[in-house]
């Protein structure tokens, strides 16, 4: 049988590229604003952090294009979509406010704090790569509704939901751009002159923003002022950062270990989502590639771990192949090297970029439901809920802790370790629906153990932050064991009756 012709590039890759590039661009707009706002100088942000991330993005995207080619040849089909690669939004916020800000507050030196960030990123990559050892086992033993539901929670709260808010910050512009995105990417209608929907929407939206005065023209000159030459430079600065992590900032490991585990679980979930959509990749290979890509980025100044990106499903919906991620990696490196990313982050208003991410959120949540048995829909829903709490916690608890606490004292502990909580409850409900109460009991005990050591419902790794959560999961585990025994007794009794007849 002849090998399939899997093209390096096809026209659908254009939309896929713009979607992925804008996802990365939106994250880096937030990174630049947040880090500069904390007190990190533009020289570190634009000359070291973003170029370092660009190296990581290039390496990861090239490798995932290679994986797509292997899958295409193995299954002899040309409709394979490569995995997307980028920085996870929830992880990005954890590193911003859980690593980079404390490092700067403690040292008072942006250079030293940046090195601590590099060290945290490198060690996070090590944990990600190590996760490949157990990745396949976890994928084989966690129900799909649990994994996709937890991922849909991220998509709904942090991707689609928050960026829908951003869309409405410029109502006229945002609604026009969103409509073009929905018409082109979901309605599958062609744009004028056959221009890809994403590109057409950006051009129209940006132009409209400046015409009607929603955007300040001074942003254009500010943007062009950032254009320069920021070549990625290898550095071993992370070694100095590790000395801090092993010394006065050892407490950061309480954040680094669980968020790194979260990261390789997110990769697992995204790979599972792509499998549900028709492209079944090796989850262990993807997790190892993520870890290596993260470590490479840290050697060039990067401070944020990378992962299989949630936008993969959006690219699959666009019928993209492998060319979109190759172009993304190359363009992102060029754009960061010449300061174009910095310029674009200032010139293109966020409400113009936001609708693309709204589409990604829509596609991810939709995929979660379309990829599981209908009877497991409730499990997808319950797995999404913890990220509602996580969103409120991460966005409002720092500046309005009293208000959040008055709303509910459970919001913060439920939001801590939301990925694990979503996976646990999603799996429990799947097993309840399937009358597999013994498995529900096992999952409950895992939940109790995770709560015991602080992976869930605790601000950091510690033994028994709050015994109520440990006891709660243990109690329902015991309850499920009782139900399991009753089911087995009922089954034995039924068999005896049948034999008697």
Q: CA dist 112 to 102, 166, 301, 448, Å?
A: 12, 33, 12, 38
Contact call for residues 391 and 162 (beta carbons, < 8 A):
yes
Domain-embedded: residue 439: yes
Q: How many CB atoms lie within 10 A of CB 109?
A: 12
287 & 395 share domain? no
190 & 270 share domain? yes
Domain-embedded: residue 6: no
| Cα–Cα dist 366/164, whole Å | 16
365 & 438 share domain? no
pLDDT at 368: 85
pLDDT at 425: 97
400 & 361 share domain? no
- Of 338, 372, 406, the one marking the end of a domain is 372
Beta bridge partners of 87: 306
Domain-embedded: residue 2: no
- Of 306, 338, 372, the one marking the end of a domain is 372
Contact call for residues 304 and 121 (beta carbons, < 8 A):
yes
325 & 415 share domain? no
Q: State the pTM of this model.
A: 0.73
Structural domain boundaries, residue 109 = 12-372
Domain-embedded: residue 385: yes
234 & 361 share domain? yes
Plot region of 411 (φ>0 → left; ψ -120 to 50 → alpha; else → beta):
alpha
pLDDT at 1: 47
Enter the DSSP assignment of 61. Answer: H
275 & 400 share domain? no
Task: Give 179's contacts (C-beta < 8 A, 6+ positions apart).
Answer: none
| Cα–Cα dist 476/482, whole Å | 10
Domain-embedded: residue 489: yes
* ∠ Cα 280 285 289 (to 5°): 120
Plot region of 373 (φ>0 → left; ψ -120 to 50 → alpha; else → beta):
beta
**Which residues in the chain come in under a pLDDT of 50?**
1
Q: Would you state the structure tokens that stand for residue 95, as one six-digit string?
A: 């590193």
DSSP characters over 484-500:
HHHHHHHHHHHHHHHHH
Q: Would you state the structure tokens that stand for residue 443, as one six-digit string?
A: 């999952």
426 & 358 share domain? no
364 & 424 share domain? no
448 & 331 share domain? no
Q: Would you state the structure tokens that stand for residue 263, as one six-digit string?
A: 């990261």
Beta bridge partners of 306: 87
229 & 170 share domain? yes
Domain-embedded: residue 7: no
pLDDT at 254: 59
Could you give the number of structural domains in the chain?
2
Q: CA dist 388 to 150, 283, 381, Å?
A: 11, 27, 11
Q: CA dist 368 to 14, 136, 173, 272, Å?
A: 25, 20, 30, 10
Domain-embedded: residue 4: no
pLDDT at 501: 63
- Of 337, 355, 372, the one marking the end of a domain is 372
Q: How many CB atoms lie within 10 A of CB 161?
A: 17
Domain-embedded: residue 423: yes
387 & 291 share domain? no
| Cα–Cα dist 10/14, whole Å | 8
């Amino acid at each position: 049988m002849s090998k399939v012709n899997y093209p390096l590039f096809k026209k659908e890759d254009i939309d896929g590229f713009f979607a992925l590039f804008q996802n990365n661009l939106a994250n880096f707009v937030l990174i630049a604003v947040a880090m500069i706002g904390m007190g990190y100088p533009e020289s570190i942000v634009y000359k070291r952090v973003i170029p370092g991330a660009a190296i990581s993005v290039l390496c990861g995207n090239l490798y995932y294009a290679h994986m797509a080619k292997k899958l295409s040849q193995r299954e002899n089909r040309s409709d394979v979509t490569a995995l997307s690669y980028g920085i996870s939004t929830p992880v990005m916020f954890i590193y911003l406010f859980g690593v980079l800000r404390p490092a700067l507050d403690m040292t008072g030196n942006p250079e030293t704090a940046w090195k601590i960030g590099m060290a945290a990123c490198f060690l996070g990559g090590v944990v990600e790569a190590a996760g490949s050892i157990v990745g396949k086992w976890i994928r084989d033993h966690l129900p799909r509704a649990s994994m996709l539901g937890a991922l849909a929670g991220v998509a709904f709260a942090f991707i689609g939901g928050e960026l829908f808010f951003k869309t409405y910050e410029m109502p006229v512009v945002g609604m026009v751009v969103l409509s073009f995105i929905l018409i082109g990417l979901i309605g599958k209608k062609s744009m004028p002159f056959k221009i890809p929907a994403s590109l057409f929407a950006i051009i129209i939206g940006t132009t409209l923003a400046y015409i009607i005065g929603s955007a300040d023209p001074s942003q254009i000159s500010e943007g062009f002022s950032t254009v320069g030459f920021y070549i990625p430079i290898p550095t071993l600065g992370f070694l100095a950062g590790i000395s801090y992590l092993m010394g006065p900032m050892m407490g950061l490991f309480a954040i680094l270990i669980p968020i790194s585990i979260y990261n390789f679980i997110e990769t697992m979930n995204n790979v599972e989502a792509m499998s549900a959509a028709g492209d079944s990749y090796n989850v262990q290979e993807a997790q190892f590639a993520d870890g290596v890509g993260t470590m490479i980025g840290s050697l060039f100044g990067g401070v944020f771990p990378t992962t299989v990106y949630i936008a993969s499903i959006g690219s699959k919906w666009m019928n993209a192949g492998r060319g979109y991620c190759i172009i993304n990696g190359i363009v992102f490196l060029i754009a960061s090297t010449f300061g174009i990313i910095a310029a674009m982050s200032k010139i293109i208003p966020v409400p113009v970029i936001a609708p693309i991410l709204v589409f990604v959120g829509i596609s991810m949540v939709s995929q979660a439901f379309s990829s599981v048995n209908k009877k497991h829909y409730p499990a997808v829903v319950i797995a999404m809920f913890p990220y509602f709490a996580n969103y409120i916690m991460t966005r409002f608890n720092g500046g309005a802790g009293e208000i959040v606490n008055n709303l509910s004292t459970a919001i913060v502990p439920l939001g801590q370790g939301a990925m694990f909580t979503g996976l646990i409850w999603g799996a429990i409900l799947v097993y309840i629906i399937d009358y597999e109460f013994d498995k529900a009991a096992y999952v409950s005990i895992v939940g109790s153990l995770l709560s015991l050591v602080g992976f869930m419902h605790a601000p950091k790794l510690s033994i028994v932050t709050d015994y109520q959560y440990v006891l709660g999961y243990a109690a329902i585990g015991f309850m499920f064991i009782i139900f399991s025994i009753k089911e087995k007794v009922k089954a034995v009794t039924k068999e005896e009756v049948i034999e008697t007849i």
